Chain A
Amino acid sequence: MLTCKGLVAQSSDLLDGSLSFRQRLAARTHLAICFHCRRFIRQMRISQRVIRTLPEAPLPDLEHLLRAISEQRAAQSDDHNER
């Protein structure tokens, strides 16, 4: 019988769909009878969405990067023209 502790240990694999058929069945059975673990799994899903929703860190010196890219392209097309 899967315990709450065991379910928590497998929770990431459950979220990623990495459990075997047998393990998934055991997890589903546990969740059907355990309110606490249902809440835990729901909150783990919310945590994932929080990470997904976090504001993006500002891009470091985007302008600088774009300038480097455009210089590189210019250098390349000079190469082509010389050949």
Chain B
Amino acid sequence: MTDEDLLLARLRSGEQAAYKVLVERYQGAMRAIAIAIVGMSSADEVVQDSWLSVVRNIDGFAGRASLKTWLLTITANAAKTRLKKQRREVFIDDIAGPHGTIGADRFKADGHWQQSPLGWHTDSPEALLDEQELRECLDHTLTSLSELQCSVLLLRDRQCLELEEICNLLEISHSNVRVLLHRARLSVFATLEHFEDTGEC
């Protein structure tokens, strides 16, 4: 029996502690999906509805997909139901970061670096995140991204979903996902670089 089979058996027998494990493990990803589709304001409601739907349907879960994929699909469907037909547009260009990202001004006319990347004092994410102020800067940067862009970043780089899975769940094209992800990553990079350089956001 895999860890997942075991968890599933516990869920089906109605063990409350098993639901707690499930919520703690997948709430972050479910929330990112909900935010991407319905926005921050109704995301928590969608996630709550999704959990109730999970409870209703857990006996019918056939195990063809992974539990995670099943949960995220339920969440995406709940969010889309909520949204009905008013699909939010994907505005790719509506995002201004807290400060410059890696824009054209970083390069010379011949395409070489004008202002090359600075060295950082450490390669360790943990050491970087030791700075409370940097954590606040990153929060600020994530908030400044569009909800969709932030969700795509979290689903890919935090929840480690495949690009394909993100496209399917959010019903956006592969090229849109790639653009959103790239810009979000550059914003995070720029935040870290700026903080390394100045100690400020």
Contacts and interface: CB of A to CB of B under 8 A. Distances in A.
Interface in B101-123: 102, 104, 107, 110-113, 116-117, 119-120, 123
Given A59-B24, A66-B19, A50 B129 contact: yes
B117 A51 contact: no
B16 interface: yes
A28 interface: no
Contacts, number: 117
Contact of A47 (B20, B52, B104, B188): B188
Interface string A41-59: 0111011111111111101
A46 B156 CA distance: 15
B23 A59 contact: yes
B178 A55 contact: no
A29 interface: no
B138 to A, nearest CB: 7
A56 B28 contact: yes
Given A39-B117, A66-B16, A76-B56, A50 B188 contact: yes
Given A3-B112, A42-B123, A16 B28 contact: no
Interface in B79-132: 102, 104, 107, 110-113, 116-117, 119-120, 123, 125-126, 128-129
Interface of A: 3-6, 8-9, 11-13, 15-16, 18, 36-37, 39-40, 42-44, 46-57, 59-60, 62, 65-66, 68-70, 72-73, 76-77
